[in-house]
Amino acid sequence: MAQTPSTAEITPVRLPTSRENPFDPPPELAELRADGPVCRLAYPDGHVGWLVTGYEAARFVLADSRFSSRMELKRSPVERAGAGAIMGRPALPGNFIAMDPPDHTRYRRPLIGRFTKRRMAELRPAIEQIVEQRLVALAAAGAPADLVDVFARPIPALVIGKFLGVPDEDCDILLDTTATVVSLTATAEDVGAALRQVHEYFVELLRRKQAEPSDDLMSDLAAAGGLTDQEIVGMGMLLLGGGQETTANMLGLGTLTLLQHPRHLKAMRDDPDAVERTVEELLRYLTVVQYSPTRTPVADVEVEGQLIRAGEVVTLSLPAANRDPARFTRPEVFDPDKSVTDHLAFGHGLHHCIGAPLARLEMQIAYPALLNRFPDLRMAVPVEEIQRREDVNVYGVHSLPVSW
């Protein structure tokens, strides 16, 4: 029987971050995964933890309750100037993504009913109206136009804003602040100031909803009782960030991907039956959450033959896991005909993204609407000139100039 190697015998690596093209993760991740799905990782602050690149290993860690999500136990696997404003301290009240049960359960439970299939069906007309407004704005901007600025970023901001009860005219302000929070280059002072600005905004928003309730989540949480004002504010802040960044970057980078695959673009435009499976393949293939999640075991755990000690931070590379050939056939190829549904783009286990149904619905509406309104949509610059978002935890493109 093979012995588990001691951690001293394993040379830690740095997390690869450089991409060769806009669509694939850093190639070194595949090389690391081929050597084994779990390896030692050297963190920028000097900590030596672990990197998970394999699909089954990632699912195991995400589902095992011995791996904690608590914010005070997290470390950034890449250089992040503002990490000190977020990590290494307990999460703000309501920020359940960075908590374990029972706190996580208490905050998440009141939200589950807001993301059912029935509630998503009720939201569809409002999302379709928002998408239509942005298509009108794109046409008015004239070609060439930046699809990210006019279409991809505003749609999820307006959708999650309507969901929470944020007026449309305030969404631009919140877009700027959330962009600062997720930036890897923003200083701790800038991140802290952005968080305070969003916090103050939601405190005032909650006061307005308590005085004049309307049909939105903030009003519902205020009326339901059982949560403090600070907890409701924290939940609103979490949902704002989670509902904005990932979907916005999927809309931009996903459109760029479809423009490189005319057959699948045509199917997305013309075949309603192809929409859902194409969105799922885009989620797997692109996996825009690139430098997280992290987990920290509270007890020693063996994963794929490696003994991970309590307190050793584990970073899961979801882009690598979703390209694992042990789980997916020809994972490096974008192929919606495969009909993949068990990817990890939204995570797994207790912390599986609660807003996944909303994100899916936005994409299922926005992509076909865009491609039908502009059937000859095309890139206005070569792909190699597109500026990639490698300086942000949520990957994508900073701009996408298009013509029609």
pLDDT at 87: 83
The mean per-residue pLDDT over the stretch 32-48 comes to: 96
Kindly tell me if the per-residue pLDDT of 142 is higher than 70.
yes
Nearest-angstrom CA–CA distance, 15 and 314: 12
Convert the pLDDT of each residue in 260-284 to its tens digit. Answer: 999 999 999 999 999 999 999 999 9
Kindly tell me if the per-residue pLDDT of 393 is higher than 70.
yes
Kindly tell me if the per-residue pLDDT of 46 is higher than 90.
yes
How far are the Cα atoms of 117, 139, 152, 229 from residue 136, in angstroms, in the given order?
28, 5, 13, 38
* Burial label, 187 (beta-carbon count in 10 A; 0-12, 13-18, 19+): middle
- Of 4-18, 84-98, 366-380, give the lowest mean pLDDT range: 4-18
Nearest-angstrom CA–CA distance, 282 and 122: 25
pLDDT at 226: 92
23 Cβ neighbours under 8 A, 6+ residues apart = 253, 257, 260, 285, 286, 334
The mean per-residue pLDDT over the stretch 66-83 comes to: 92
Q: How many CA atoms lie within 13 A of 265 on its CB side?
A: 17
In the block, which residue shows the tokens 């619905």? 361
Residues 267, 277 contacting (CB under 8 angstroms): no
- Cα distance between the two ends of the chain: 63
Nearest-angstrom CA–CA distance, 103 and 95: 10
pLDDT at 173: 78
> For residue 42, how far is the Cα from the chain centroid?
24
Nearest-angstrom CA–CA distance, 176 and 55: 34
The mean per-residue pLDDT over the stretch 118-146 comes to: 96
Q: In DSSP terms, which residues pair with 48 in a beta bridge?
A: 42
DSSP calls for 24-49:
S--HHHHHHHHH-SEEEEE-TTS-EE
How many CB atoms lie under 10 A from the CB of residue 260? 13
The identity of residue 260, as a single letter, is: Q
3 state SS for 68-89: ECCHHHCCCCCCCCCHHHCCCC
DSSP SS3 for 20:
coil
DSSP SS3 for 316:
strand
Q: What pTM does this model have?
A: 0.94
- Going from N- to C-terminal start, the domains of the chain cover 7-403
pLDDT at 22: 95
Kindly tell me if the per-residue pLDDT of 307 is higher than 60.
yes
Kindly tell me if the per-residue pLDDT of 203 is higher than 70.
yes
Kindly tell me if the per-residue pLDDT of 98 is higher than 80.
yes
Rounded to 10 deg, the angle between the 154-164 and 229-259 helix axes is 150
The mean per-residue pLDDT over the stretch 18-31 comes to: 96
The mean per-residue pLDDT over the stretch 173-189 comes to: 86
What band does 3 get if pLDDT is binned at 50, 70 and 90? Answer: very low
Domain spanning 7-403: which superfamily?
Answer: Cytochrome P450 (1.10.630.10)
For the chain, give the percent of residues with pLDDT over 70.
98
Mean predicted lDDT score pLDDT of the chain: 94
pLDDT at 9: 60
Kindly tell me if the per-residue pLDDT of 223 is higher than 70.
yes
Q: How many CA atoms lie within 13 A of 147 on its CB side?
A: 28
Convert the pLDDT of each residue in 351-391 to its tens digit. Answer: 999 999 999 999 999 999 999 999 999 999 999 999 999 88
In the chain, % helix, strand, coil (3-state, to 5) comes to: 55, 10, 35
Range picked from 5-14, 116-125, 144-153 for highest mean pLDDT: 144-153
Nearest-angstrom CA–CA distance, 2 and 4: 7
Kindly tell me if the per-residue pLDDT of 6 is higher than 50.
no
Kindly tell me if the per-residue pLDDT of 5 is higher than 90.
no
For the sheet containing 378-379, what is the strand order? 145-146, 401-403, 378-379
Closest CA to 322 of 330, 334, 331: 331
Nearest-angstrom CA–CA distance, 212 and 389: 40
